[in-house]
Amino acid sequence: MKLLTVVCAAIWLPILLAARQDPIRPKITGIAYVRVFSTNLENSRSFYGKIIGLGPASLCSGAGQSCFAINDHQHIQIVSANTPPQANFLAQVAFATNNIRKLRQYLVAHGISVGAIANDRRGAKYCELLDPEGHSIAFIETMTPPRFTPAPDQLSTRLLHAGFVVQNRELEDAFYQRLLGFRMYWHGGFKEAQTDWEEIQVPDGNDWIEYMLNIPSTADHKELGIQNHFSLGVSSAKAAVALIHAHGLRKTDQPEIGRDGKWAVDIYDPDLTRVEFMEFTPAQAPCCSPYMAPHPTP
């Protein structure tokens, strides 16, 4: 019996030590900001300030030249585009975490190349990296939020999701779902048996990212502006578009129910990046698959 105990200990001790040494992923709670490129900062500031009605944030996270507050923990950043400009104008998506040091350790332990932890102008700690297809993402540690009062004519106080073109779904799933713990929210397509969109929620919240699938690698700036987008939550898409018209943007799409069963309406910033206004819950059953996780709330 004594020998058996020694043998069992010899077998299990390395496994237990390895389990203790393997970093635990801290929480990833939502999308902190989206960063977009602009060829004319003044035009972009007018669009996000006047048309969408967002108020300026006092300080941007990371490298934003201008930023607009959506709520006390989410904002939109604007940075100058390259010369000549790149085709993709969705510059970066950043996710909030409760512990940036442990999250970076977790990524490095799994062979992911991650930039050093830095402090932004607010003092928040963040790090940047590229996902498997080269999309720029960041993780930023949550801080005590500043006092926030929505702007008087603000269309939305909630950033719901960001979408970007994905060529290799399995490659991205290995990173976002299997490594980071994102979970399926919904997937569907133009046809019932086809997947053109995959929506996966952050592991510890209900913001999500959306893979825009089956897009040609030769897509031009206009097409990429449609696909690489972000979405703001509204209680009514029809009320949102009425307010957009009142703010001076007359030419818009009309609200419609998407394949996901939700009412939404799209507008485009001066550089043709799509800004979607989406209702929080579906008005009817979605196509293709049921929802697999809780819906966001206002």
The encoded tokens of residue 214 equal 């089956």
CA distance 56 to 150: 10
For residue 68, give the 3-state DSSP assignment.
strand
SS3 for 231-269 is EEEECCHHHHHHHHHHCCCCCCCCCEECCCCCEEEEEEC
The encoded tokens of residue 114 equal 């991650």
Selection from 149, 144, 98, 102 nearest residue 123 by Cα = 144
Per-residue pLDDT tens for 145-158?
Answer: 778 888 889 999 99
Q: How confident is the model at residue 248 (pLDDT cuts 50, 70, 90)?
A: very high
**How many CB atoms neighbour CB 8 within 10 A?**
10
CA distance 288 to 118: 43
CA distance 252 to 267: 6
Beta-carbon contacts of residue 271 (< 8 Å; ≥ 6 apart): 36, 37, 38, 39, 44, 81, 85, 89, 225
Give the residue, 298 or 103, on which the prediction is more confident: 103
The encoded tokens of residue 264 equal 């939404």
Give the residue carrying structure tokens 């003044």.
Answer: 42
**b or e along 67-90 (b: 16 or more beta carbons within 10 Å of the residue's beta carbon)?**
bbbbeebbbbbbbebeeeeeebbb
Beta strand 90-97 pairing with 136-141: parallel
Q: Is the pLDDT of residue 269 over 80?
A: yes
Q: What is the mean pLDDT of residues 87-97?
A: 96
Beta-carbon contacts of residue 1 (< 8 Å; ≥ 6 apart): none
Q: Tell me which H or E stretch contains 198.
A: strand 197-201
CA distance 268 to 225: 8
Q: Give strand pairing partners of 164.
A: 211
Domains of the chain, each with CATH number or no CATH: 28-141 (3.10.180.10), 159-279 (3.10.180.10)
pLDDT reported for residue 201: 98
Q: What is the mean pLDDT of residues 241-269?
A: 96
pLDDT reported for residue 224: 97
% pLDDT > 90, the chain: 78
Rg of the chain (C-alpha set): 21
pTM for this model (two decimals)? 0.90
Selection from 270, 239, 212 nearest residue 46 by Cα = 270
pLDDT reported for residue 258: 97
pLDDT reported for residue 62: 54
Determine which of 19-23, 46-50, 191-195, 244-248 has the lowest per-residue pLDDT on average.
19-23
* Separation of CA 196 from chain center: 18
